[in-house]
A and B are shown apart, each in its own frame.
Chain A
């Protein structure tokens, strides 16, 4: 087993910005296994394939044998932008790169996870009322939720469970449309609300839960 996985048998994968580091710390996972930073393409003439393929293989080897793996897909925070105002490079990073990164990270996690283990993907998923200006992010979140289900269908045979926790940590708008969410703690915190939901899904208490989504957004979405 690699050093990263053997320390605690719990690993967190993600771009190591403060919220991801806070989540990893709250889970007692130590430093996150670093996902690559987004590239800066200027147009559509780019490919995310080469770098990600290599990173996936390296990650699967580093995480091999981990019993619990958290793949946190939170990108670095950015302001909302209507979809059609995004230029080619912005679109490629926000939608295509982030989706491909999440896909390869979950692939690596599934390849590395020990039999009987558990994987949780964490996605930032603004509620429908808060989604304007967040097209790529919502697309990535929905894509990851469904990919987690697909993986859960395949990995269940060896007892590996795969679930998703969705959050609205950094995309919560200052002015909320409609009724406020039921919990006054909205939008919640990485180290409290999100970490708690992740911990539950990783634990034996969730032994019968796979392919599911827990919305740790203080009731903002349903």
Chain B
């Protein structure tokens, strides 16, 4: 049974209108968090907010484009005005180009710009806007990175690069924010998501490659396998954990 968190604990999850973000939101909802689904797609995000409420938390939607400074500032302002504070941020949003497979030489600078804008600028903007509130609450900041950010990917090299950059950023933020009582961590998940299912269709040999090296022999469940670890990192049970990237990939990634 999941220990209930106080209702006052409001968290923001970016990019939670589907996939891993949805799983994180629902897992945190099950622990009683007030979960703000920060996304651009209102219809899908509101549906996830309803799932959060059904799981035992309180789901809310806030419009947010993580690459836009004004949008991020407005989202945090809305959240804190209505919830009275902010306990945690999960930066899960990633570029819509992330699943687009192509050799590195074919990646244009404009595509790279989109990856950087969502993954890296989004992290910076959320960190900048959330910091005063997290300092007040002694809260936690979690980033969804990827095993690609450790090992590199031949056909997803821009995605892998920004995920590695995020891993570097959280390590630095953990040192900079530790004196403020804020913990900063990341996860590197491997989950069953609609995007991965589509990738398996596009590349039929991919499923065997992905599962063949996974000692647990299955993809993670976005809520029960991945979301639960984020919930741990956000909560008091992880109060002495900071600066870490936790592999939540069934032992799949061979780098660490």
Residues of A participating in the B interface, judged by any CB pair closer than 8 Å: 44, 47-50, 52-53, 56, 82-84, 86, 88, 91, 95-96, 99-100, 103-104, 107, 110-111, 128, 131-135, 138-154, 211
Question: Does B164 contact A145, Cβ atoms closer than 8 Å?
Answer: yes
Given contacts A49-B110, A107-B105, contact A147 B120 (CB under 8 A): no
B187 close to A (CB within 8 Å)? no
Size class of the B contact interface (CB-based, 8 Å):
35 or more
Chain A residues with CB under 8 A of B110: 47, 49, 53
Residue of B nearest to A211 (CB): B152
Main secondary structure of the interface of B (DSSP, over half): helix
Question: Does B109 contact A132, Cβ atoms closer than 8 Å?
Answer: no
Bound-state CA distance A49–B111 (Å) is 9
Task: Give A75 Cβ to nearest chain B Cβ, in Å.
Answer: 15
Residue of B nearest to A102 (CB): B161
B150-192, CB under 8 A of A: which get 1 and which 0? 1111101110111111111101110110000000000000000
Residue of B nearest to A148 (CB): B152
Given contacts A91-B124, A135-B169, A143-B164, contact A100 B69 (CB under 8 A): no
Bound-state CA distance A145–B108 (Å) is 19
Main secondary structure of the interface of A (DSSP, over half): helix
Contact of A47 (CB < 8 Å), options: B113, B152, B156, B243: B113
Contact of B157 (CB < 8 Å), options: A82, A145, A151: A151
Question: Does B150 contact A110, Cβ atoms closer than 8 Å?
Answer: no
Residues of B participating in the A interface, judged by any CB pair closer than 8 Å: 68-69, 103-105, 107-110, 112-113, 116, 120-121, 124, 127-128, 131, 148-154, 156-158, 160-169, 171-173, 175-176, 243
Bound-state CA distance A134–B176 (Å) is 10
Residue of B nearest to A108 (CB): B105
Task: Give A135 Cβ to nearest chain B Cβ, in Å.
Answer: 4
Bound-state CA distance A143–B115 (Å) is 12
Question: Does A143 contact B162, Cβ atoms closer than 8 Å?
Answer: yes
Given contacts A83-B127, A95-B124, A132-B176, contact A147 B171 (CB under 8 A): no
Task: Please give 4 more A-B residue pairs, beta carbons under 8 A apart, in addition to A84-B176, A149-B160.
Answer: A53-B108, A83-B172, A142-B168, A154-B157
